[in-house]
Amino acid sequence: MTRTSEGRFAPGQSGNPSGRPKTPAHIKAMLDGLTEKAVLALGEALDGDDPKLKLTAAQEVLNRALGKPHTSTSIDVTQNNLPAAHLAALTRLAMVGRALTRVPITIEAEAAGVELSEAVPLVAASDVTDE
């Protein structure tokens, strides 16, 4: 196995060159003998009285017959003024910290490249003292 200077596998190299280990033949033979019993057990579970067992059996049958359902998530984040959003998030975080410590916190909006009208004030003017 060849690795790059960053420790990653070099192109064309695998971390598992032999591939997934094969199932031994005697295990396959044992499983083949149990397949019919497993299918019958699922059928019995589907016909049983326990609703949870019925649902589990039905899910297993459907997953084996049709494949497990795929889930996907789509997140759409749109922000026209990213510096203002960052400043607002920092402001909320600072407010939580201030509530815990009761120490005045100020953030300079101009240093963050945000218009002052977009900035959310952290503290009221009466809370800020000159030292």
Structure tokens at 6: 């960053």
pLDDT single digits (tens) 37-57: 988 999 999 999 999 999 999
Describe the crossing of helices 51-66 and 25-47 by its angle, rounded to 10 degrees. 130
So what's the pLDDT on residue 52? 93
pLDDT at 123 over 70: no
Angle at 112 between CA 93 and CA 82, to 5 degrees: 75
**CA separation for the pair 46, 54 (Å, rounded):** 5
pLDDT single digits (tens) 7-31: 888 888 877 878 888 999 999 998 8
Q: What is the pTM of this model?
A: 0.37
Structure tokens at 63: 């997953």
Distances (CA, A) of 1 to 7, 20, 111: 11, 16, 49
**CA separation for the pair 98, 91 (Å, rounded):** 10
Secondary structure percentages of the chain, helix, strand, coil, to 5: 45, 0, 50
**CA separation for the pair 26, 22 (Å, rounded):** 12
